[in-house]
Amino acid sequence: MPNRKTKKLTIKDVARILDVSTATVSNAFNRPDQLSEALRERILSECKKLGYVGPSAAGRYLRTGRSGVVGIVLTDGLSYSISDYVASHFIAGLAEVFDEAHLNMLLLSARDMDQSTRQRQHESMVDGYIAYGMIDSEGRTYEHLLRQQKRLIVVDNSIEGYPSINVDNRGAAREIASYALKQKPENLAILGLRVTNFPRISRLTQEDIESAPATISVDRLNGYFEAITAAGVELPLDRIWNIPLNTHRWAYQAASEALNTLPRPDLVLCMSDVIAMATLQTALKMGLRVPEDLRIVGFDGTPEAQNIHPSITTVQQHSTEKGRRAARMFLEADSNESLVLPTELLIGQSCP
């Protein structure tokens, strides 16, 4: 029967017994990236024998002022972010690294980032933030985050003086458009995503393009424009549609409108694989042959777009790896570097 009066081991006791520093013991539980695998396994094995289960989260908070919770600020509502392939895989990459570091995530929607009592409670709970996406066109959410003076990592955006992770959206869009335009279309169309803040499907105007805030969607659109100019192809502005949300319902509606215009497009550049797959479905229902009558390209590299028939020619961005990198960047408190991750051109059957 265990002795109830046995003193509970502290991290200092364990460090003395194992002849290592308290920081080494702490890292074995909380920062595994700081130790070799062999050293970490030895410490964890010895701790198990000693009956030591690791530093107290409450004690760690009292000593360091840290809660072990990272706020993940998402552009969209939580239900959409969990169901969207790109956003959900980004979150999965974060979770993979934070699980290993024994940190928790608090998912927050930018729509709720205001001065409410609930928001102030969130602020007191987190050690810092990873902000994913544009967040809001006026920048109020970023201003709110910056005022807190906590650790901030920016993803799919950039703020001067803060570490960020992006892909080269403009270059990737230019690459896939240049590939598609090698076979010059007679009638080109673009199905854009969130180029403007207009809440319904609309065709872009010159004023829309000139006044649009700097976003990854505008980067992709400018990449398309560069390839179109280089190819000597005409693109009237009324052949560019804007879709407010990356869902099949919105994309299908926009694709139906685009493919029923005259003259009908024979090449559609889509800013996401969701839009490309909706365009493919619309075309097949209309009796069009892909790629003979209509060629389609997407962006994102989702498995679903690769597994349908005909498969989608697209740009693959590695969303899970983007999440891993963002989490590691958050943990490396002394690092303020910014990264641009590579993309890949995947040639499918929709635009061979």
Mean pLDDT confidence for 189-205? 93
DSSP annotation of 184: -
Residue-wise pLDDT for 65-113, tens only, equals 577 899 999 988 888 889 999 999 999 999 999 999 899 999 998 876 6
Residue type, 155: V
Please tell me the predicted confidence (pLDDT) of residue 289: 98
Name the residue with higher pLDDT: 259 or 147.
Answer: 259
Q: Supply 155's token pair.
A: 């993803």
Question: Mean pLDDT of all residues in the chain?
Answer: 88
pLDDT band (50, 70, 90) for residue 237: confident
Q: Supply 195's token pair.
A: 């180029």
Residue type, 60: R
Stated as kind and residue range, the H or E segment containing 84 is none
Mean pLDDT confidence for 192-215? 90
* Mean pLDDT lowest among 115-119, 175-179, 293-297, 340-344: 115-119
* Mean pLDDT lowest among 5-19, 105-119, 184-198: 105-119
Residue type, 310: P
* Cα–Cα distance for residue pair 142/122, rounded to 1 Å: 15
* Mean pLDDT lowest among 87-91, 141-145, 281-285, 338-342: 141-145
* Cα–Cα distance for residue pair 172/293, rounded to 1 Å: 25
Name the residue with higher pLDDT: 328 or 56.
Answer: 328
Mean pLDDT confidence for 142-151? 81
* Cα–Cα distance for residue pair 306/139, rounded to 1 Å: 36
Q: Supply 266's token pair.
A: 């024979």
Percent of the chain with pLDDT over 90: 64
Instruction: Give the chain's largest Cα–Cα span.
Output: 86
pLDDT band (50, 70, 90) for residue 114: low
Mean pLDDT confidence for 292-302? 97
Name the phi and psi angles at 39, rounded to 5: -65, -40
Name the residue with higher pLDDT: 57 or 14.
Answer: 14
Mean pLDDT confidence for 48-77? 72
In the three-class reduction of DSSP (H, G, I as helix; E, B as strand; rest coil), residue 124 is classed as helix
pLDDT band (50, 70, 90) for residue 61: very low
Mean pLDDT confidence for 292-311? 97
Please tell me the predicted confidence (pLDDT) of residue 112: 67
In the three-class reduction of DSSP (H, G, I as helix; E, B as strand; rest coil), residue 191 is classed as strand
Please tell me the predicted confidence (pLDDT) of residue 326: 96
pTM over 0.85: no
Name the residue with higher pLDDT: 198 or 115.
Answer: 198
In the predicted model, is pLDDT for residue 25 greater than 60? yes
In total, the chain counts a number of residues equal to: 352
Q: Supply 125's token pair.
A: 């709970």
Name the residue with higher pLDDT: 258 or 112.
Answer: 258
What are the structural domains, with CATH classification, of the chain? 11-55 (1.10.260.40), 69-166+320-340 (3.40.50.2300), 169-318 (3.40.50.2300)
Please tell me the predicted confidence (pLDDT) of residue 170: 97
